[in-house]
Structure 1
């Protein structure tokens, strides 16, 4: 090494190749900058715009937030509202992009208007892009406005194909453009005051691979006279350069802020238990590499690599330091109302009292650092001193409730016995009675889903509590997230009694929690549907929806939307069905169960409409996201797994699984699902030539359905069962109702719904547009151009135009070949 000078830490060097690429940001409608963390993407864009942007040009800078796609999307819409108020408002009203809303949102993005030359920068976009439908991503990448320039800064974490960004037509800056060459390394070092020979620059390039972060840290190390240490990893370099040069006070500061993606000054004061921060702390934050200050958010943000190094250091720190850092962080999260993050911190240091002091509600399916809450709670109960447990009987009851919801009945029973002993030791008689009321309330759920047994126990609990309870809160999802009240139907001939019992339960829970959920009205509506009284089911479903909206009960609201979608299927209304499936996506709950329930209900529709390609792969393969879910989830999952096997004509696998599923369903008391499972198994037997076995299953299903007049399953599947329904009625000595005798197929033109959904998920074949696929499908069915034009309300000329495009994309020369290709 020929020469060393004072290191200049503020040098930002960019290769001529990168500068040329950055120059096109101001002319290209869309620029995508994609590379892993540490390649200086954001800094490069900031520096280039600062030096080259025409004076007065507005720059709208938006950054995605970790673990909050909904919040990030709302902030993006607000940013777009500054550019185009009408489009921004439209995007806000559309909500977070889902499959059914993707086309509408894509259209709004494509139509963005901007009156003056402006730039919109979407930073850390990888945190959001994996949540966006392909349609929305395509709209962003194909934006063609003349005034607005769009810059997307993202890490290499695609949910899309490798060449997606390059093929989009956007101006693309990738990792090779950001990587420095050996000559660039030498120039950068010279600017920093470190002169290298060509061979030394080559060695440094080989070690850093042109990664600017690694290069920066290595040059810092060399400046300190330690030479090049090729054996050190990037994190070790970070430790060597940053960590080892920080005072003990500084290390304490960084330990505390490492547990947050960003920290405000007030937050730092809270973590350090200081009234105000001394100047040396501000200096440390501002002078430490890889910490930036975001003026708009008024917070300091450590780089991801720095955070990773700090968290590793914290994990290896002494017990006193770890307890201090995690406890203060947990207290901050608790104060901010983020119970899950608070639990994450407190569990790491086994602060049992802090855990039990939190409002442990809505945690049935919650995961803390990817571990089910119920699993962590079991460890807590095994190790927490009894003296602490005695102080928090309500928290213990909430854990017992979570155990029941996660189908951990044995654990729940043991905990309830322990809580009963603790309550028995309470000296104050009035307090003891109220706590026993809370205990009785949770104990009632040990009978779930037997609503008839639950109702008198809940009545007893309400009498003992004498008002609002403490264990269940108004925002606790009804019945552990169960959206289908018909699941409470357990006993043939007992439907009316079960409806009456659920009405009683809803009234009692209204007294105990202040919430009238509307679940009882939904049960009546579902009963009317399954009895074939469609005209009664509709008004009742709207009444239940009104009550659910007012109470904030997403479970019942989801159930009402599901019921309305079923009614749309019975009417053969694809437009209404599409809207209701979209509404299912937009049903919002605050716990982990909500999106899972929505996905399950959508799967049910896709399965019976033959749209199995719309069903998530893990569901088609029989894998569940929540193995610790309530019993009703497991039963429902088993039911539509059988349905998928039937649709895919996997009859042998279907029959093998059906026997065990029916037994489990009967043991748990889910009669309606059991009836459907019998019918699905019957169709499996029928399709394997075993008609007698098929008949016995249809007869058993009918025998269990008749006492309550449950006719819907037989209305739905009569045509598929080849006369078996008629034979079963005859053998049981019952007259088949007219509505069954006249029933037809489930729904007519499913192809239209399939095209719409496939288009919005980016799964249409051969690159066809939605309209091209509609035209091609009708042509493949044998319709003439005039008939297609009439069916789609377009001109014959438009039909011919679309067919020419279809023929070109499919590589065919006549419409007679369409059927074979699109089959």
Structure 2
């Protein structure tokens, strides 16, 4: 529509943009956020306005763009910001100081649209610095559907102005005035109908008015935006125009120079059509059209109902355009939707682990493609076939992996290429996992065949699918923890020769983790640093993340917050900074796994990523990459005192495939179950699980995790059966030098403090009395058995009650039976 409407009240609010240092505009799609800001900028000279629009399919360059704009205002400030490099916790305070000292005398508006796509990449202190700057002529405007945690920036800062969805809605009076502006004299009933059907949603109101301006007549009732678009816009287009628009449905934005590729021979008609359709923004300077999210989703739904041949043609054409633009992920998605597996196989199927292609996971994509592909096509693209086999294993489709691996073997054997058969053996080693000797045998077989390094296992595919703990992966046999380290070292020597050190640092990381669980933190830190140096040299991101995690764990267990800060800085400076992993799902999951695990140990799981905070009893989406992070869901349940649900979740997890539930994981879970059963008053069940944990842990002296909760477990340590079977282990756990205070500070098991460790301070006679009480004897029977008076028995029982903070006989029976 040609005319825009803004109420007087809204106009006054928009004028705040000219005086505030930071403006945050937040509302869902269709509320007119961008339109409102553009209207507010209508009289501002174009040279003062600098606009950045984020899109999902492009790498985020918003911070680089922002720094370039600052450099235009102040060369020294821009140079200083560029010199800092990747912004993280260690240097963002310097960046904030640079912005705080910046002086801008001429009006400058820096606008970032679609901030919801890139907000996580903007450090909070940087935004805080923009909010706290003294007022001058620099105005930063952020437009987002959801600011999430960044809302904290504007909560207590006067220099920030916030627009919410409520500010952007039209009331009945606004709708009537808008209609008058367009020459429409709405009746009260018409105004009410529009308001009732749109709830003041600007995008929907404009469609109603466009319908009235063009056709007049009545106002139909609609339940959703799709129905509005179909009636007022889509249904008025010719079939040819509809087909042209469906060709752009796959794109987040459309460049003018792409039109001949999108609609060959119809580019002029398509260009004119894009200008006149609703919910499409045109950047005249950049010659780019941005479909509104509502419009794009509508067009995609229309495309999915189009004839299959046409739909495949649209996706195939888009895939070629994305491939020429080096957007590998979008090209793969389009060829998959088109059903063109040959073109999909011709893409570089690397760096895609854990990606989502619309609603389809990469694992599901691999399953579908491998099942529907004929052997001839797979034979033409053997490396792509093997990469998809790896995807199945990484996504824990173990049966599918085994079946496709056998088919791959037959295809490659017929090919007769020894290099390819060597690649097959490297992939086939996963069939033996976690049997290190079996994996090594495959690697040796591969080494006898291959003359060049593997083309499948490269830095872009992080070692062991981005799992940051080698101990979690490979420690499987009680009593063989250190022997396993030596086995792993020998296996990795062969593997690294085959893959140009793809597994560099994994042995050192495993050894560091093994020392950590024994409480040998200084030695563990040394191996963590060794692992870090090797992984950086050979770009093994999994181990780099693992080293950051291990250093953080050791720091937390020793309550060393300075070392913890250094571990986090290493995570942000090194692990997150591998350029070939930027903006990939696997990198995000590795980072959030490490961060989430550390937050779990700090008893702060609510600060971890949303995907890691999902329902604890949802176990159908587990992978090697995300499993450690998702175990923090259990911590979240415990913090919320949902002990029974935590028990159900952990016990269900223990029945999962043993390739996911390692010995280390099983031990942790046994400790958690012991604590939860104690918390709900079932000490016998708790004792059973603690017995299992101690049986597993004492063979390699893996006592760190048990020692973290020894205060709560002390009541179980006093059970005669427990002392008899695990007495030495219990003493070693009590003696372990560990200063993990977070569990006690959080008081997640505060109800267990009624069973203090003072039970160990009972005299020998009091112990005898206590055990006889637990056996069910009455005071008189105890007196006769111990040859003391009944009054003396009562005196001993009072003393026992005082020392153990137990208030009745049944509690003592429950405690010691």
Q: TM-score, normalised by structure 2?
A: 0.76
- Picking from 37, 43, 58, the partner of 1:45 is 37
Give the aligned CA root-mean-square deviation in angstroms.
Answer: 4.6
Determine the C-alpha separation between the residues in 2 that align with 1:176 and 1:708: 61
Determine the C-alpha separation between the residues in 2 that align with 1:159 and 1:45: 21
TM-aligned CA deviation for residue 655 of structure 1: 6.2
Do 2:612 and 2:630's aligned partners in 1 also have CA atoms closer than 8 Å?
A: no
Deviations 1:573-594 (A, max 9, x none): 2122134245446633454344
> Aligned in 2, Cα 1:297/1:507: closer, same or farther, shift over 3 Å?
farther
- Equivalences for residues 426-465 of structure 1 within 5 A: 426=415, 429=416, 431=417, 433-465=418-450
TM-aligned CA deviation for residue 150 of structure 1: 3.6
Determine the C-alpha separation between the residues in 1 that align with 2:231 and 2:615: 48
> Aligned in 2, Cα 1:201/1:501: closer, same or farther, shift over 3 Å?
same
- SS across alignment from 1:565: helix
Determine the C-alpha separation between the residues in 1 that align with 2:642 and 2:279: 56
- SS across alignment from 1:422: helix
- Name the counterpart of 1:60: 50
- Equivalences for residues 551-570 of structure 1 within 5 A: 551-570=538-557
Q: Which moved more, 1:264-273 or 1:138-147?
A: 138-147
TM-aligned CA deviation for residue 650 of structure 1: 6.3
Q: Does 1:359 align with 2:352?
A: no
- Name the counterpart of 1:421: 410
Do 1:365 and 1:626's aligned partners in 2 also have CA atoms closer than 8 Å?
A: no
- Picking from 378, 384, 389, the partner of 2:373 is 384
- Equivalences for residues 53-452 of structure 1 within 5 A: 53=44, 58-66=48-56, 70-83=60-73, 113-128=103-118, 144-155=134-145, 157=146, 159=148, 169=158, 170-173=160-163, 178=168, 194=183, 196=185, 202=191, 206=195, 213-225=203-215, 227-231=217-221, 235=226, 238-239=229-230, 242-243=233-234, 250-273=241-264, 279-295=268-284, 297-426=286-415, 429=416, 431=417, 433-452=418-437
Determine the C-alpha separation between the residues in 1 that align with 2:278 and 2:218: 20
Q: Does 1:572 align with 2:525?
A: no
Q: Which moved more, 1:699-708 or 1:412-421?
A: 699-708
Deviations 1:468-517 (A, max 9, x none): 22333332111122211112122234334422332233333333332342
- SS across alignment from 1:404: helix
Q: Does 1:627 align with 2:620?
A: yes
Determine the C-alpha separation between the residues in 2 that align with 1:149 and 1:569: 41
Do 1:531 and 1:709's aligned partners in 2 also have CA atoms closer than 8 Å?
A: yes
> Aligned in 2, Cα 1:722/1:163: closer, same or farther, shift over 3 Å?
closer
- Name the counterpart of 1:536: 523
TM-aligned CA deviation for residue 30 of structure 1: 4.2
Q: Which moved more, 1:235-244 or 1:414-423?
A: 235-244
Determine the C-alpha separation between the residues in 1 that align with 2:20 and 2:406: 69
Q: Which moved more, 1:304-313 or 1:208-217?
A: 208-217
Determine the C-alpha separation between the residues in 2 that align with 1:39 and 1:703: 60
- SS across alignment from 1:747: coil
Do 1:729 and 1:736's aligned partners in 2 also have CA atoms closer than 8 Å?
A: no
- Name the counterpart of 1:501: 487
- Picking from 489, 494, 514, the partner of 2:500 is 514
- Name the counterpart of 2:19: 27
Q: Which moved more, 1:445-454 or 1:359-368?
A: 359-368
Runs of 5+ unmatched residues, structure 2: 747-817
Determine the C-alpha separation between the residues in 2 that align with 1:339 and 1:662: 38
TM-aligned CA deviation for residue 235 of structure 1: 4.4
Q: Which moved more, 1:166-175 or 1:591-600?
A: 166-175
Deviations 1:682-716 (A, max 9, x none): 55667778888777766665554555565545665
Do 2:465 and 2:624's aligned partners in 1 also have CA atoms closer than 8 Å?
A: no
Do 1:374 and 1:403's aligned partners in 2 also have CA atoms closer than 8 Å?
A: yes
TM-aligned CA deviation for residue 124 of structure 1: 3.3
TM-aligned CA deviation for residue 121 of structure 1: 2.8
> Aligned in 2, Cα 1:623/1:668: closer, same or farther, shift over 3 Å?
closer
Determine the C-alpha separation between the residues in 2 that align with 1:161 and 1:282: 38
> Aligned in 2, Cα 1:281/1:496: closer, same or farther, shift over 3 Å?
same
Determine the C-alpha separation between the residues in 1 that align with 2:4 and 2:677: 72
> Aligned in 2, Cα 1:578/1:435: closer, same or farther, shift over 3 Å?
same
Deviations 1:624-651 (A, max 9, x none): 78834335854x4686566666666766
Determine the C-alpha separation between the residues in 2 that align with 1:689 and 1:255: 62
> Aligned in 2, Cα 1:718/1:143: closer, same or farther, shift over 3 Å?
same
> Aligned in 2, Cα 1:421/1:205: closer, same or farther, shift over 3 Å?
closer
Determine the C-alpha separation between the residues in 2 that align with 1:234 and 1:639: 40
Q: Does 1:479 align with 2:470?
A: no
Determine the C-alpha separation between the residues in 2 that align with 1:738 and 1:288: 76
Do 2:512 and 2:527's aligned partners in 1 also have CA atoms closer than 8 Å?
A: yes
> Aligned in 2, Cα 1:643/1:556: closer, same or farther, shift over 3 Å?
same
Determine the C-alpha separation between the residues in 2 that align with 1:519 and 1:124: 40
Determine the C-alpha separation between the residues in 2 that align with 1:569 and 1:525: 15
TM-aligned CA deviation for residue 439 of structure 1: 2.1
Deviations 1:258-292 (A, max 9, x none): 21111223332333356xx8655544444555433
- SS across alignment from 1:483: coil
Q: Which moved more, 1:646-655 or 1:478-487?
A: 646-655
Deviations 1:515-566 (A, max 9, x none): 3422122223323334444443333222211221233222100111112123
Q: Does 1:524 align with 2:515?
A: no
Determine the C-alpha separation between the residues in 2 that align with 1:391 and 1:235: 43
TM-aligned CA deviation for residue 17 of structure 1: 3.6
Do 1:716 and 1:743's aligned partners in 2 also have CA atoms closer than 8 Å?
A: no
Determine the C-alpha separation between the residues in 2 that align with 1:441 and 1:391: 20
Do 2:409 and 2:424's aligned partners in 1 also have CA atoms closer than 8 Å?
A: yes
TM-aligned CA deviation for residue 345 of structure 1: 2.0
Question: Which has the higher relative contact order, 1 or 2, with Cα contacts under 8 A spaced 6 or more apart?
Answer: 1
Do 2:619 and 2:653's aligned partners in 1 also have CA atoms closer than 8 Å?
A: no
> Aligned in 2, Cα 1:82/1:509: closer, same or farther, shift over 3 Å?
farther
Determine the C-alpha separation between the residues in 2 that align with 1:685 and 1:239: 57
- Picking from 718, 739, 743, the partner of 1:746 is 739
Q: Which moved more, 1:405-414 or 1:525-534?
A: 525-534
Determine the C-alpha separation between the residues in 1 that align with 2:144 and 2:656: 48
- Name the counterpart of 2:787: none
TM-aligned CA deviation for residue 599 of structure 1: 3.4
TM-aligned CA deviation for residue 116 of structure 1: 2.9
Determine the C-alpha separation between the residues in 2 that align with 1:107 and 1:709: 49
Q: Which moved more, 1:565-574 or 1:543-552?
A: 565-574
TM-aligned CA deviation for residue 162 of structure 1: 10
Deviations 1:287-307 (A, max 9, x none): 555433325644222233432
> Aligned in 2, Cα 1:30/1:420: closer, same or farther, shift over 3 Å?
closer
Do 2:154 and 2:162's aligned partners in 1 also have CA atoms closer than 8 Å?
A: yes
Do 1:57 and 1:117's aligned partners in 2 also have CA atoms closer than 8 Å?
A: no
- SS across alignment from 1:79: helix
Q: Which moved more, 1:557-566 or 1:693-702?
A: 693-702
> Aligned in 2, Cα 1:507/1:203: closer, same or farther, shift over 3 Å?
same
